[in-house]
Amino acid sequence: MQLKRKPSRMFSQRSIHGRIAHEIGQQILRGDLAPGEVLPNETDLGAEFGVSRTVLREAIKVLAAKGLVESRTKIGTRVKPRDQWNMLDPDVLSWSLASHDAEDYALAVSEMRRVLEPAGAALAAQRATPEQVARIQAAYDAMAATGDDEDSSDHDVRFHLAILEATNNPFLVSMGHVIESAIAFNIKLSVKFPNLRVQSVPLHRVVLERIEKGDPRGAQAAMVKLLQEAQVDIERILAGPRGRAARAASTRRLRKAHR
């Protein structure tokens, strides 16, 4: 079997073995290489990519560390079952958002946010330092000032990441890359519906106010409402006639952004 080669803009930013891992990883997440499928042997795969067996082995080690493949004597390198993939790995998440199932993956991340972020907001209300509250405020102010401008997505990301940072829990802070990708998906999807972003600003304001007042229950409830409203908006967009066109366009943009 011959692997499908596709040029990537990320190649210049990676080592040689990292570039090979990137190509194979994308093919796994796209479904070109299915769970249980055995990759070509080292000789054929090395010839296909034009690299040495040493480089190829390093690339396979990278993919194995992400839970995507396993190598066994007399069998070769096999794609592992989907439930063993490390979906929280930054590369795996990025590849998933460039796959054919981009919307399903991103909505699953959105669902995870509804579990994670309300608790994070409650902790931030209890633990945030004045400096951390100021960073949340600054992100909110910038988001409110840009209105329905696409640049507001950057400030929206900063707002949510600043809240996680204000939990002062290193594990919650490390979830930032997941939250960023989910928000980016939501913004790209709703780009043709700018009023949705404007309408969400007051909901962000309530979250900020509850954190400022040191109100854990209020902050948690406000974040629940914010994320529930965001999910309803996304589902409405995807379900409607106009939404189907937006969905197709946003998916193309999303795949391009993560290649």
Same-domain check for residues 60 and 119? no
Please state, as a whole number, how many other Cβ atoms lie within 10 Å of the Cβ of residue 132: 18
Same-domain check for residues 71 and 170? no
Same-domain check for residues 169 and 114? yes
Amino acid 192: pLDDT: 53
Same-domain check for residues 37 and 122? no
Residue 155 near residue 143 (C-beta atoms within 8 A): yes
Same-domain check for residues 137 and 187? yes
Average pLDDT of the segment spanning 245-254 = 48
- Range with the lowest mean pLDDT among 39-43, 121-125, 161-165, 213-217? 39-43
Host domain of residue 45:
11-84
- 230 falls in which pLDDT band (50, 70, 90)? confident
Amino acid 126: pLDDT: 98
Residue 128 to residue 164: CA distance in whole angstroms: 10
| Tens digits of residue pLDDT in 34-57 | 999 999 998 899 899 999 999 999
**95 within some domain:** no
Amino acid 209: pLDDT: 98
User: Of residues 96 and 161, which shows the higher confidence score?
Assistant: 161
Same-domain check for residues 125 and 193? yes
Q: Is residue 11 scored above 60 in pLDDT?
A: no
End-of-domain residue from the set 30, 52, 84:
84
Q: Is residue 242 scored above 70 in pLDDT?
A: no
Q: Which residue has the tokens 């891992």?
A: 21
**93 within some domain:** no
User: Of residues 114 and 189, which shows the higher confidence score?
Assistant: 114
Amino acid 5: pLDDT: 46
pLDDT averaged over every residue in the chain: 83
Same-domain check for residues 132 and 26? no
**4 within some domain:** no
Phi, psi of 7 (to 5 degrees): -60, 150
Provide the number of structural domains found in the chain: 2
**91 within some domain:** no
Same-domain check for residues 119 and 76? no
**141 within some domain:** yes
Domain containing residue 207: CATH number: 1.20.120.530
Q: Is residue 135 scored above 80 in pLDDT?
A: yes
**60 within some domain:** yes
- 178 falls in which pLDDT band (50, 70, 90)? confident
Amino acid 170: pLDDT: 94
Please give the share of the chain, as a percent, with pLDDT higher than 70.
79
Same-domain check for residues 131 and 44? no
- 103 falls in which pLDDT band (50, 70, 90)? confident
Average pLDDT of the segment spanning 226-246 = 70
Domain containing residue 55: CATH number: 1.10.10.10
**41 within some domain:** yes
Same-domain check for residues 127 and 76? no
- Range with the lowest mean pLDDT among 127-141, 213-227, 234-248? 234-248
Q: Tokens for 55, please give them.
A: 């480089």
End-of-domain residue from the set 51, 84, 117:
84
Average pLDDT of the segment spanning 181-209 = 75
SS3 call for 91: helix
**92 within some domain:** no
- Nearest residue to 231 (alpha-carbon basis) of 48, 106, 82, 78: 106
Q: Which residue has the tokens 């907001």?
A: 121
Q: Is residue 224 scored above 90 in pLDDT?
A: yes
Same-domain check for residues 61 and 167? no
Same-domain check for residues 230 and 183? yes
